[in-house]
Structure 1
Amino acid sequence: MVQYDLFGEVEQKLTERAEQREAEAAKPKPRPATHAARRRRRGFVSDPHRLAGEVAENVIAAWFSHHGGGRMDIPLGTIAALSFFREPLITDWLLTLEPAQLPQLLREVWGVQWMVRPDLIEVARPLHDWIEEDPTEHELRAVQAVIHTAIYTGLFDLTAQDDPYNRSTTDVLSPLLTALRHKSDKKWRGEYHTPPCVSDLMARILVDTDHGPTIREPALGSGGMLRSVAQQLRERGLNPHDYTWIGNDIDRLSTACAAVNAILWHLGPKTVIWCGDSLATYDAGLTQALAERTAVIEHRNNVVEQARFEHKARHMLQALDRLTSGVAA
């Protein structure tokens, strides 16, 4: 008769299971999908205008819930800066930044864009001047909340696209700008941005007719009409870079947003945007805008040339130091 050690079997099985659990725990576990990866799995945005509205609504809620204050330029300028990023994977890095690190990041973002399009970034100055004003701790924490909220809501699904057509499906700044304005302020200014469906219809009619080589918008807002026309041109196999884009608005924040959007929508080098009253000084305003555009581009060229000279001078001095140190040895 064979006698089994039941308790011994149980103990052995428990030991084997414990060893198995330890071995499983020692194995490297797959990292959970990052937020950026989860966003990319969602694919095509079926209603970009609705998503842009959600981004605006959530950003405003984040700004005020974190006691950002009554300034419009800070949350608006933050979203404008984020729209310059083209790589969705950068979201995971952005989410790690502390509030104190954000001013330097934003300075670099605007600085890079100034080197490429100084004319438009100068028009957009109302959106980035605040960075040099030593923002408070409360404001920077609110800026951090705005960045996180915009990322989680899906801003980069709209703007972080390589194809200009895909990132021009909507105006992400318009709903934020209009929602930040007080109702009475909008009424006083007469600021009512054209709905995208209306501007798309108008653009379709315009492009189907003899639109000519120049697109003008004397009541620019944040540039929604220009976006619609550019999309219609692309759908017909035409390149917006072959056209001249001229637009102005009486509100500085609106024209600042339009300048950022002109970069985002890749309207091309022949784009002139300025702040001015079309009913009062349209021709004079355009002449001045063209002169200022020429001056700021020339200034950028001088800055680049000076930087190149200093770079060459440093290399020459380093080579001279190596030569003289070799002779001395």
Structure 2
Amino acid sequence: MRALLNIIMTLLAFIVFGQQKESDKQLDEATNLIFTNPEKSARISTRMLQEAKDYPTRITALSKLVNAQMVLGDIGQVIVNCSKGIVMAKENKDTVNQIRFLSMLGNQYQQINMNADAKKNLDEAENLINSAPLPKDLLFIQGNVYNVKGIVFKSELNCEFAIKYFDKALAVYNALPDEEVTLTNRLLIDIQKAHCLESIGKIQEAEQLYTEVLESKNNGLGYNRYFASVGLISIYLKRGELDKAGQLLKTINVNDFIQYDLELTSLYYRSMAEYSYLHKNYQSYLYYFDKYNQTLLNIYKSRDEMIERLVINNTANFIQKTNNNIMWNLVVIVLMIIIFTISSLFFYRFSIKKTVG
């Protein structure tokens, strides 16, 4: 599901900053390389961030750096740099970028199941939106905040609240022009919403949404279309419609996503295991059930590694900050000793002169 989020977040960045005049060729190059060569894009953005003096260039460079790091899957650095972006935006009274970085930060925390931190940042973003409504050309950001918040509630199995926020996001996207980016994101939200509808027993509504996604001609979905496929297969299997499930399973090419999306891979293996079991093909069932369990273990392992890296980075930053504070305190103490010594010598000499006089 991370791919779903990254598509939304990355496209959002282009829309926001596409409204600014990009005169710097290096920043243009960083933009063009985000997907094709994210490492180089990150290097260019980092250099521009360090060299630039004006706020617009620095915040633009930081945005491109964050997007490149999202493509690279470096959640720890994305969190660090989103936090920097929030501070920079606050200092410059830039509500739009504050909302945007809060939204991306919430998204990153959600991906590693740190939902309390995710909601904290998303709530702050939503409060800013409510206090200072965004202009029409930036409504995309508002839709994104609602969507990510819906995903957080979905991951907590609170599907009623999730659907509420998915609907709020769809209301925003429906008010935007029917461009490919907007249509893609509507379909991505429909997939999430359909999953929640299925979870609370609204099977017909879920089936309708899954079907609409699969019948759409939108190419922007890529392999994310398969999320709708496995969702619809789940419904068919529950109803005992094995032929329909089997036909749809044949349309899924696991090689399209096995290297990129562990969650989708696990859903596919689970569907194959259930289909095999209902067909009484127990050998196939055991094979796919084992694949499913292995993928789940990889998901948990990957998530734990991300959290561990985040903790290590935070600890390193804390130690560095502590060391800097210690050094500063030592400098202050030394200066105070010098000042005290000079003052003491001055008063001592003054008192000697006064005594002699």
Bin of the TM-score, shorter chain as denominator length: 0.3 to 0.5
Higher strand share: 1
When the two structures are superposed, what TM-score results if normalisation uses the length of structure 1? 0.33
Higher helix share: 2
When the two structures are superposed, what TM-score results if normalisation uses the length of structure 2? 0.31
